[in-house]
Structure 1
């Protein structure tokens, strides 16, 4: 069998669930990304997520914030890491070396200047 993964990103990814609390008559919401996925060769809904690059992000929280900005055009809010510090992350899938760290971000705001997607 084959084992796949992304050594460029140290096999580490961040995945962010943007949650917007109810406000007035507006119910609570989450933000999903509509994007093309190469694997199934179709457009899917997904959470903002991406590979951790130490030189670019500094830490996995920085990666989460960057992906939130790049993919969801959101910034700020309360970023909550959903696993303890030192946890290696959850396996992406059973045949993959990649691991992801899940985050919840509460009440992010629309970004006037989202991060550059092509950096």
Structure 2
């Protein structure tokens, strides 16, 4: 978590959950909006927008006003209906998805061996594609388990790639990366430099069946991006990591 943000982030997150689940109306909703206003003043505006995305009913952005928001489906993911008033006065309804139990936050990790110039992939089942696909370490941030996003990244690195230690660098400095046009979720992209084998890795989730593919040249991983072998988030992570490595003369 970013230094100095913890208190504001915690309060904004609670406001986020209350409003998104319909627990607050009227004055309570306006009070939560004031919490988000405080976050806007205290934090980087993009980061504040990320934290308060589901708690901003009634707010205006570039002439677009979020008139209302309601939960329409809730399970592993939550589907919200957002009614938005456009600058010309027209109103439209949208379905947007998010992960409130994960604070709308996921982590992705690109492991890099600086001596061999290689990375580590995982191969696992993708339910949406109904297929086995390659990708990088990824998982949700869990405030009950992780102290911050880096802790979540290290936990996932141990769980999925059986790696630990090394130096962790945040690739998207300044603000997290939006998942999608119709999503409230954001990605925190990490580069893990010279992590080593974890002899006591964390346990995986029961449904996870993961093959670890080690010693993959970074050049091959980049080729896999352009062959369409990664999902969009893993492809983005790969290109961001490769650019950082080039800038730091590590690749």
- TM-score relative to the length of structure 1: 0.88
For 2:118 and 2:203, the matched residues in 1 are separated by 25
Count of aligned residue pairs for this structure pair? 113
The equivalent of 1:74 in structure 2 is 163
User: How far is 1:93 from its partner?
Assistant: 2.0
Equivalent in the alignment of 1:28: 117
String of CA shifts for 1:1-48, please: whole Å, max 9, x gaps: 4211111101101110001122xxxx4111111010111111111110
Alignment of structure 1 residues 21-100 onto 2, 5 Å: 21-22=114-115, 27-84=116-173, 87=175, 89-100=176-187
SS at match of 2:110: strand
- CA shift, 1:97, in A, is 1.2
* Aligned equivalents of 1:54, 1:67: Cα separation in 2: 14
Counterpart of 2:184 in 1: which secondary structure? coil
Provide the residue aligned with 2:202 in structure 1: 115
- Give the distance between the partners of 2:181 and 2:132, measured in 1 at CA: 23
State the partner residue of 1:10: 103
Structure 1 stretches of 4+ moved >4 Å: none
What is the deviation of 1:84? 2.6
CA distance in 2, matches of 1:101, 1:118: 21
**More helix, by proportion:** 2
The answer for the alignment partner of 1:106 in structure 2 is: 193
Query: Could you tell me how far apart the structure 1 residues matched to 2:202 and 2:188 are?
Result: 20
User: TM-score, normalised to structure 2's length?
Assistant: 0.43
CA distance in 1, matches of 2:185, 2:121: 22
CA RMSD, Structure 1 to Structure 2 (Å): 1.5
Gap regions ≥5 residues in structure 1: none
Offset, 1:50: 0.5
**Greater relative contact order, per chain length (Cα 8 Å cut-off, separation 6+):** 1
Any gaps of 5 or more consecutive residues in structure 2? 1-93, 207-251
